[in-house]
Amino acid sequence: MKAIRHRAYGGPDVLELQELPTPAPGDGEVLVRVRAAAVNPGDWHRMRGAPYAFRAAAGLTRPRTGALGADLAGHVEAVGRGVTGFRPGDEVFGHATGAGAFAEHVAVRHDGPLLAKPAALTFEQAAAVPTSAITALRGLRDVGRVGRGRRVLVNGASGGVGTFAVQIARALGAEVTAVCRTANAGLVRSLGAAHVLDYTERSFTADVPAGGYDVILDNVGDHSLPACRRALAPRGTYITNSGKGGRWLGPMGRILAANLLSLAGRRRFASYMARPRKDILAAVRDLLERGELAPVIDRTYPLAETAEAMRHFETGHPAGKIVITV
């Protein structure tokens, strides 16, 4: 099978299209013929080996596996012993951490975050969903406790997580303010944003409605925490979801500072790990099937052009998700 691998850390040029043996499904595994896979920040971190603390698990001087890609959609080609709920020919979508979904085939656990693909979605649309939609749902529903009448600000509203977050906040009954570039204002309004702030013209921390925001989901991390605190309602919640930070610890410094701020006052600062789970992916699928959620795809690239896809991702300005077609 054809697959993307990298033998060293670095920029997109380290990515290679290789010919590898097709994996056989082990006990409890499903062999998926991948039709599409999505690019996520985790793939960038694995490619770059950044921050350096990440290498403790991925390989200190070079990557242990060199496999990239976790979110996927395709059809079941074979099943291992003990597999229930799937059979060859089923169309599926889901998440397979570390399995290497930038490939023609991948073996994934049948009891992990893998579900039947919504019939109305293409493979490209379905692959765009798992990590980003789960991150948005967990942050808003579970951490932010967003409900009807709440005022929610999404910073980085036109990105992969942001486009899902705007829709999910709206579905939960919130009044949504989206922060993005002028070029993407129409997009986020179409997704349900009641208000749009252009970050190139004004800061959301300087243009705060009376009473402040009940929840801020920050996918960018481009404002100081004290400034974000002033934008919150008296009992508001700030949720950091930015992967930015120094070369050694990445976003951990901001996360630790946010946790310390939560110790003083009634405003809450929160961080979380949105680990993909079958039940949360099922909740996302329900939203998709009810028409309350739709993936936004910025661009698609064939597998052989994965390096170009990663270069585009590194610009930091995709409107929605970048998808690899296989």
- Decide if pLDDT at 257 tops 70: no
* 68 in Cβ contact with 39 (< 8 Å): no
Residues of the chain with pLDDT > 90, as a percent, come to 77
Using one digit for the tens of pLDDT, what is the confidence trace for 262-285? 656 678 888 887 789 999 999 999
Nearest to 32 by CA among 72, 82, 83, 84: 72
The DSSP secondary-structure symbol of 221 reads -
Tokens 């585009």 sit on residue: 312
The DSSP secondary-structure symbol of 225 reads H
- What mean pLDDT is predicted for residues 160-178? 98
User: The pTM is what?
Assistant: 0.93
Using one digit for the tens of pLDDT, what is the confidence trace for 300-309? 999 999 999 9
Q: For the chain, which domains are there?
A: 2-128+295-325 (3.90.180.10), 131-270 (3.40.50.720)
The one-letter amino acid at 302: P
- Decide if pLDDT at 250 tops 60: no
What is the three-class DSSP state of 179? strand
All residues at 6 or more sequence positions from 309 whose CB lies less than 8 Å from its CB, including other chains: 39, 299, 301, 322, 324
